[in-house]
Amino acid sequence: MLFSFKNLFSGLKKNIQESLPDIEERLLSGDVGPVVTKELCDLIKQSDLKTPEEIQSFVERQVEQWVTPQTSFNLPTHRPFVFFFIGVNGSGKTTTIAKMVHWLGQQGLKSLLVAGDTFRAAAVEQLKIWAERLNADFVGGAPGSDPASVVFNGIQAGKSRQVDAVLVDTSGRLQTKTPLMEELKKVHRAGVKSAGKDLDQIFLVLDATTGQNGLSQVIHFKEALPLTGLILTKYDGASRGGFVMRAVRETGLPLRFVGVGEQVADLQIFDPAKFSKNLF
């Protein structure tokens, strides 16, 4: 049976302190990992809470506290600011960029999209179509061209065209494929060089339906680049997302946005209280 946080506390003994070994086992099978599991069980053990309902609201509040970012998300004041979107294949990078253009547009900000995914012709085309639809500027290169130079040129164009935001799409890549991760570092270096400073945001885009592998993605991408935040997509389906709590708790990276559908309006600022309520 697939673990769900929804039934974390169901079918346990009336005095839940006696059920701690069961809770521990359920948490471990739910992608929460040993560190967070131990922390939660220790907290329950030290508390004088007894019933499943009491423990549940206690755990919800604890998780909410853990996933609440240390700093709130503010748009930079300088122009243009540069956001990078990275992640594994199909995690939702390109769609998230489209949503971000829409979100920024609602605040009166103009975006330029950079097709740093030169790997597939269809990827360049997909981003270009979004740019046209959303009235954003666009910079791309020929399919198969050097993504680092496309990104360099794109950021330069963002400066000269005086847009507010430069949003850089990158090819999906497996976090364990060293040559592809090296290429990503090179693309990032080109971006920093072109911007003349650190990039304003480097978002790792994660698919909420991913299990354990999600944590591995966070760890490997964080090793490669100075990530600034996480975006969780496909949070609208029957998603699990337990790994995200673990990733946030263990890496300290803030979860910033949540994608809840395929439409441009389906991007929400991450809400810790809602997240922890939904989890259980």
Site residues (vs Mg ion, CB under 5 A): 93-94
Relative to beta strand 229-233, strand 201-207 is: parallel
Helix (H) or strand (E) holding 216: helix 213-224
- Rule CB under 6 A: say whether 18 interacts with ligand GTP: no
Instruction: Give how far Cα 163 sits from Cα of 13, 85, 203, Å.
Output: 60, 18, 20
The binder of 154, among ligand GTP, Mg ion, none, by C-beta within 5 to 8 A per type, is: none
Stretch that binds ligand GTP, among 91-99, 140-148, 222-230, 245-253 (CB under 6 A): 91-99
Q: How far apart are CA 98 and CA 133, in angstroms?
A: 9
State which of residues 19, 37, 94, 228 lies at the interface with ligand GTP (CB under 6 A). Answer: 94
Q: Are 57 and 23 in contact (CB under 8 A)?
A: no
Cβ proximity to ligand GTP: between 170 and 276 the closer is 170
Q: Which residue has the tokens 């929400």?
A: 268
Q: How far apart are CA 226 and CA 198, in angstroms?
A: 9
The continuous run of DSSP H or E covering 86 comes out as strand 81-86
Minimal distance, residue 19 CB to ligand GTP, in Å: 35
Closest residue to Mg ion in the complex (CB): 94
How distant, in Å, are the alpha carbons of 62, 82, 137, 225, 272 from that of 153? 45, 13, 13, 20, 37
Residues binding ligand GTP: what is the number (CB under 6 A)?
20
Q: Rank residues 19 and 91 by Cβ distance to ligand GTP and give the closer one.
A: 91
Interface with ligand GTP includes 234 (CB under 6 A)?
Answer: yes
End-to-end CA distance of the chain: 17
Minimum Å distance from CB 116 to ligand GTP?
A: 10
Residue 117 near ligand GTP by CB under 6 A: yes
Residue 95 binds ligand GTP, judged by CB under 6 A: yes
Residue with smaller CB distance to ligand GTP, 2 or 238: 238
Q: Which residues bind ligand GTP (CB under 6 A)?
A: 87, 89-95, 117, 123, 172, 233-234, 236-237, 259-262, 266
